Structure 1
């Protein structure tokens, strides 16, 4: 595919109206051809009017037709995986093999959502048949199903240029729900975004859908993001990134004449708690695993196990020594952007200014964008006294916290704000402490991991990628896994309707053979 750098608005390719940019290769420090177009409010308005025009027809597509569209996107992603991976590697400085795998996983997510659509369970259909003879008052027929919200704006993320970007879980789940998508591509990987965007654009055309089902825009600065959130035709927004960026969008959306939901995935340190029995039994193994998992993607992962807590007792020295030995093996690698690199450097200095001691470090940086891997240590007293030590450092730094005992472990656990995940390493001898720690973690996270690490995460029906603020802006929802579709639907009840006017999933014959709640009983009859 020859990259043109144009915006993708419906079926059209639109040239720049608000300037241009080139991609940056953080491994070489060079700019990469071609120039990529920036758009402004006019392009946002055009894309969202097309999305609104598409909504009625797309949201009423049959389940089989919509599922086939999602499968078509998956097929096209897999066919282009080498091309996507090669361009993404250029724009990130990371290995192409990593992005081949990410593309295949993204295709798998679209296929899983195709299955979700075919099953129709996300509609949550319920039927309370009429009871004309009920006393003291008759009951009319009531039938409920979930319907799509409307056009959705998705902000692509920087750290996973495929699975959290154009072809990511947000796009797949919104399309599965029946919502047209206007995607704001991240400027860190414009070429990879264009390839993915054109794949979805082609799939829309081949499936015979309205061109407004998908558009891709790009802009410089905050103006285009503000235009997207402000637009009166937008019904929901998703965002993955910093707490500052996410909350700026959230607050803006609440000030609209008609406030809309903004589903953010923001900040998390994913604390790891090593209980005394596990520490004594396998401290070195846990220390090695922490570094291996924590340095994935140069530490630029929302599920990085950033902070580990353990009691200074049997096994602690072995854990620390193993972690130091492992971090010293890590090569310095380019971070995604110079902006991310510079923020990382400032945050590391912040940690050290607040008393964190450097235990070990990886290879020294060679290139300007290189992030050096670091292992720091503080005491339990320090992390309780300095909230800044509990904040996220986006990049290849890990923090060990040396505790005085299990009471202090519970105390520091209670000090945390909301997290995407938390981890507990324990043996059978740790049961009493584990039982005390578990409810503390349940109040602070959407996923608790036992005797493993917070990364990677399976994308499945049982996945949760969410948690209380500031991990997300709404802890009731997940942004990863099949449950993500629930963000983009709302209930509608059809009362006393003739059968022929009802949506197909609610008709008496149940031709789709969906599971439905009929008079309180789950049935496919």
Structure 2
């Protein structure tokens, strides 16, 4: 596919503007081939209007038809794996094996949602049949099912150019739920975004769908994103990125004449609690923890950025091992020079705090997109007095938090804000002895991990990738796994409707064979009239 650098407006391409931007190789600083042209306000309106036009037919597709489309998108993306990986590597400096795995994750989640919508029970049909003889008042026939919201705006993420971007989890779940999607491409990987958009556009054509089911808009700044979320026809927003950008989008969505939901994944430091049984395995814990917080140059939303441990001799041995491991970590190339600069300034600021001790950090002044690991420490008392020490630093660093007594650990846990994950390392006896810690953490995170590490998020039915604010803007949701589909649907109740006009999921015969809650009982059986 030849890169044209202009936005996708349904089946058409936008006109080129006069001020292009370019992809940049983070390692060399080299400008990559291809001019990319920001969309105009008129392009935004055209894309969203097309999405609204497509919504009427797309929302009525059967689960099997929608599943066929999602699988067609997956097949189209898989067919260009080599070209995708090559371009994404140039634009992000992410290793080729990581990107090949990300292609698999992207196509895998599309196929997962295809399975979900083909089976159909995700629509959660509920039926309370009429009770005309009930006293003192009869009960009408009530039938409820989840229906699509309408056009959804999705923002590509910097750290996952495939799995959280143009055809990533937000797009896949929104399309699966029956909503047309308009994507605002991330400017750090425009070529990768165009390749994926071309694959989706072709799948739309292959399946004979309205072309407005998918559009993609380029922009190097924020103007087009602002226009997109404020467009009156957009009904929901999906975003993964920084707290500042996510909060700005949430505020824009809430300030509209018609407020809409903004599902933003934003900021998390994913605390790790190392209990006595794990401290005795300090060599293994040090190796595994270092591997987790430096994985992908620490550019994962699940990076463990806070580590709690006591002041025992075993903990002192672990700290020494962690220092040795940090010193052995090679220099990283981060996603963009801007992200690297922000990381370095964050470490400078934290290391300059009198309450923080620097255990390991290179003295060399890194430049461009380069960065190195940093290992810092403080105390639970200092963390309680300076909660900003728990703020996320996006990059390969972690902060050790020492506590003198167990109550300090519990107090620090109570003081945590919302996070995506919390990890407990120890024995089963340690876990049993810390049920009060678990009870606290259940209120703070979306995923509790025992003797594992938060980096690495399985795309499955049971996964929760969410958490209380500021981890996300809505703690009731997940952006990974099949439950992500529920963000982009709402319940509608049909009262007293004739069978012929009911959605198939609610008809007595249950022609789709889905699981339904009928008069309080889950069943796939037909209702005998």
Whether TM exceeds 0.5 here: the answer is yes
> Would you say the 8 A contact 1:285–1:322 is kept in 2?
no
1:153 aligns with 2:153: yes
Q: Which residue of 2 aligns with 1:310?
A: 309
Which secondary structure does the structure 2 equivalent of 1:23 belong to? coil
Q: How far is 1:151 from its partner? A: 0.3
Aligned-partner Cα distance in 2 for 1:92–1:63: 36
Pairing 1:414-433 to 2, within 5 Å after superposition: 414-431=414-431, 433=433
Shift in Å at residue 366 of structure 1? 6.4
- Which residue of the partner structure matches residue 394 of structure 1? 394
Question: Which residue number corresponds to residue 240 of structure 1?
Answer: 240
Q: Distance in 2 between matches of 1:414 and 1:346?
A: 28
Distance (whole Å) between structure 2 residues aligned to residue 444 and residue 291 of structure 1: 24
- More deviation, 435-444/75-84: 75-84
Equivalent residue for 1:469? 469
- Write out aligned runs for 1:26-37 (5 A): 26-37=26-37
Q: How far did residue 387 of structure 1 move?
A: 2.0
Contact persistence 1:6–1:13 (CA under 8 A)? yes
Report the equivalent of 1:443.
443
Deviation at 1:220?
3.1
Q: Quick check: 1:112–1:482 contact (8 Å CA) kept in 2?
A: yes
Once the two structures are overlaid, the 10-residue window that deviates more, 134-143 or 307-316, is 134-143
Contact 1:329–1:363 (CA under 8 A) maintained in structure 2: no
The residue correspondences of 1:351-370 to structure 2 (distance < 5 A) are 351-355=350-354, 356-361=356-361, 368-370=368-370
Counterparts of 1:503 and 1:136, CA distance in 2? 31
Asked whether the equivalents of residues 338 and 369 of structure 2 are also in contact (C-alpha less than 8 Å), the reply is: no
Deviation at 1:130, TM superposition (A): 2.1
- Secondary structure in 1 matching 2:467: coil
Q: Deviations over 1:36-75 (max 9, x none)?
A: 1101211110000000000010011011000111111111
Q: What is the CA–CA distance in structure 1 between the aligned matches of 2:362 and 2:208, rounded to whole Å?
A: 53
Matched, 1:329 2:328: yes
CA drift at 1:385: 2.1
- 8 Å CA contact 1:466, 1:472 repeated in 2: yes
Q: Which position in structure 1 is the counterpart of 2:374?
A: 374
Cα deviation, residue 208, structure 1: 0.6
**Which secondary structure does the structure 1 equivalent of 2:259 belong to?**
coil
Hey, what does 2:346 align to over in structure 1?
347
After the TM superposition, which segments of 4 or more aligned residues of structure 1 sit over 6 Å from their partners? none
Instruction: Determine if contact 2:125/2:143 at 8 Å carries over to the other structure.
Output: yes
Stretch moving more, 214-223 or 314-323? 314-323
**TM-score, normalising length: structure 2:** 0.96
CA RMSD in angstroms, aligned pairs only: 1.4
Partner of residue 284, structure 1? 283
Contact in 1 for aligned 2:341/2:368 (Cα 8 Å): no
Kindly state the Cα deviation for residue 181 of structure 1 after the two structures are TM-superposed. 0.3
2:78 matched residue in structure 1: 78
Is the 2:271–2:306 Cα contact (8 Å) retained in structure 1?
yes
Cα deviation digits, residues 329-365 of structure 1 (max 9, x gap): 2111211111111111111011112232222246957
Q: Distance in 2 between matches of 1:362 and 1:449?
A: 31
Contact 1:332 1:365 in 2 (8 A): no
Which secondary structure does the structure 1 equivalent of 2:411 belong to?
Answer: helix
Partner residue in 2 for 1:209: 209
Give the Å deviation of 1:458: 0.9
**Correspondence for 2:67:** 67
Answer yes or no: is the 8 Å Cα contact 1:468–1:474 preserved in 2: yes
Provide the secondary structure at the position in 2 that maps to 1:30: coil
Q: Distance in 1 between matches of 2:474 and 2:23?
A: 33
What SS is found at the alignment partner of 2:381?
helix
- Give how far 1:242 is off: 1.1
Alignment check: 8 A CA contact 1:77 1:104 kept: no
Q: Residue 35 of structure 1: SS of its match in structure 2?
A: coil
- Correspondence list, 1:501-516, <5 A: 501-516=501-516
Greater shift after overlay, 202-211 or 337-346? Answer: 337-346
* Cα pair distance change 1:285/1:364, threshold 3 Å: farther
What SS does the corresponding residue of 2:493 show, helix, strand or coil?
strand
Task: Note the residue ranges of structure 2 that are not aligned, 5 or more in a row.
Answer: none
Matches within 5 A, 1:127-276: 127-276=127-276
SS in 2 for 1:102: helix
SS at match of 1:226: helix
CA deviations 1:396-442 (Å, max 9, x no partner) are 11111222122111111111100011101121332454211001101
In structure 2, the partner of 1:299 is 298
Unaligned runs of 5+ in 1: none
- Taking structure 1 as reference, are residues 430 and 206 closer, same or farther at Cα in structure 2, changes over 3 Å only? same
How many equivalent residue pairs? 524
Shift of 1:367: 5.5
Displacement of 1:146 in angstroms is 0.3
Take 2:502 and 2:252, find their aligned partners in 1: how far apart are those partners? 37
- Contact 1:331–1:362, Cα closer than 8 Å, also in 2: no
SS in 2 for 1:157: coil
CA deviation profile, 1:94-128 (whole Å, cap 9, x unmatched): 22221011001110000100111012122100111
Deviation at 1:386, TM superposition (A): 1.8
Deviation at residue 13 of structure 1 after TM alignment: 1.6
Q: What is residue 4 of structure 1 aligned with on the other side? A: 4
Q: Distance in 2 between matches of 1:171 and 1:431?
A: 38
